Amino acid sequence: MNNLLRLCILSLGISIIFASPVMSQKTLEGIYVINEGAFLQGNASVTRYDAASATVTQNAFFAKNGRPLGDVANSASIIGDYLYIVVNNSHAVEVADKNDLRSVARIEIDDTNGGSPRQLLQVDENRAFVTNLFDNSISVIDLTTNTVTNTFAVTGFPEGLVMAAGKVFVALSGLGGGNSVAVVDPVAMQVTNTIEVGDNPQVIRVHSSGSVWVLCTGDYGFDENFNFDPDRETFGEIHIIDPAEEATVRVIETGGHPTDMKFHEASETLYVLNNGIQVVNTVTYEAGEENLISRFLNSFSIIDADEPMLIGGVAPDFSSAGRAVMYSIEGVAVDSFATGIGPRDFVIKYTESPVSVRDDGHLPAAFSLGQNYPNPFNPSTVIPFELAAGSVVSLSVFDLTGRRVATLAEGRYAAGRHSVVFNAMGLASGVYVTRLEAGGEVAVGKIVLVR
């Protein structure tokens, strides 16, 4: 018996007895809508929606700071206590308090060679990377000082970026003519490899299995004089990359010209912005032929609360106010509110609160790691687990040498029954060990991959 298995079996004796189950209730607190505004007009803005009161505040950043956000806001994300807003045509990243939007810093991006920051990604505790489209580079931001400390070349017009297997993967759009993803060493801050994918990759996400999904919009079919040539047109694809092998292992054809995608892990669904909202099953890899939502949307996101919803941004033009429309997970419009010009991105804020639950038989009576199904499997399998109480969970897969090959769950889960999908793309046939840890308890299991 190797050391990993011995450790896992011994750790089964560690447990905590809970007096009563406690669930963590995740509810929608509010939404920041990042409005790009009209090009060269300097009227990018933030719309704030408060869920409890259903109140909407337009130009919330201006109202707090007495100055506009800038020209063409592209994306935003929360890191720690701050909201980082990438303002593309102002060549800047605005840093604001995530609760009241008070500006705490404005990070200027060098635009000598074109600048144009697009997406921001935290790569470690103290650093974030920002892709610069026209500068063909990545700026390194020190998150402790909110300053640019380095810039390194990433040619090919970089757009979206993610981190997987200790590497940064960057979509290289080529301004519509590219077809590759750069692999970046985040420590050395240099490109170590490029992976060929479909035409015009812009958006890139990481699945809970650890695989990297690249959305390729396709070639719209226009030549250098902007004349349409049907022989040039190619259509949307999703390329799934094994980050360890740095190779594409599967391609999903979406059709159309998709521009964004987001995972909803609980329902094993990928939602794709493709002239409406298209659904892709992340277990069978099947793309829906008919859209769940047929309305054309400028942007969208997932409200991943206990009652999940979709939210889409409607931009009638880029000179008048837009609208945010909330949809049930089945695609039915349930609410909407006004936004600024061109709603481009959504930052969703949640409130998590403990809720006592009477153990009436509907909740699991004990912590457990279930047997995966199917087993044996190739290449995907579902791993169920149960929690008698809400807890911070870690679920990983190891090979028989003790090497961790995947982290499937990491974070707080409510009491109840859960499942995650493990995709063993790029792994060899054999026996693997699953290890679940939560609230001081540990459980292990055995799964078999057969190619």
Residues 278-292 pLDDT 10s:
999 999 999 999 999
Strand-pairing partners, residue 239, are: 214, 251
State residue 351's pLDDT score. 86
State residue 14's pLDDT score. 33
**Ordered alpha helix ranges (H), 60-197:** 60-65
Taking the model in full, what pTM does it have? 0.77
Burial-class residue 81 by CB neighbours within 10 Å (0-12, 13-18, 19+). Answer: exposed
Q: What is the mean pLDDT of the chain?
A: 90
For the chain, give the number of residues.
Answer: 451
State residue 428's pLDDT score. 85
Q: What CATH number was assigned to the domain covering residues 26-353?
A: 2.130.10.10
274: left (phi over 0), alpha (psi -120 to 50) or beta: beta
The b-or-e profile of 406-443 (16+ CB within 10 A means b, else e) is: bebbeeebbbbebbbbbbbbbbeeeebbbbbbbbebbb
Can you tell me the distance from the alpha carbon of 23 to that of 362, in angstroms, rounded to the nearest whole number? 13
Q: Is 65 helix (H, G, I), strand (E, B) or coil?
A: helix
Percent of the chain with pLDDT strictly greater than 70: 92
Q: Where does CATH 2.130.10.10 sit in the chain?
A: 26-353
Q: Where does CATH 2.60.40.1930 sit in the chain?
A: 3-24+364-449
Q: How many CB atoms lie within 10 A of CB 138?
A: 29
First to last CA, the chain: 25
Can you tell me the distance from the alpha carbon of 321 to that of 59, in angstroms, rounded to the nearest whole number? 11
In 3D, which of 207, 198, 211 has the Cα closest to residue 249?
211
Tokens in use for 82? 């701050």
Let me know: does 338 contact 411? Beta carbons within 8 Å: no
Let me know: does 257 contact 220? Beta carbons within 8 Å: yes
Can you tell me the distance from the alpha carbon of 236 to that of 222, in angstroms, rounded to the nearest whole number? 16
State residue 307's pLDDT score. 85
Residues 191-214 pLDDT 10s:
999 999 999 999 999 998 889 999
Tokens in use for 368? 């457990």
Q: Where residue 354 falls among pLDDT bands split at 50, 70, 90?
A: low
Strand-pairing partners, residue 24, are: 354
CA angle 138, 205, 214 (to 5 degrees): 85
CA 114 distance to own-chain centroid:
27
Q: What CATH number was assigned to the domain covering residues 3-24+364-449?
A: 2.60.40.1930
Q: How many CB atoms lie within 10 A of CB 370?
A: 17
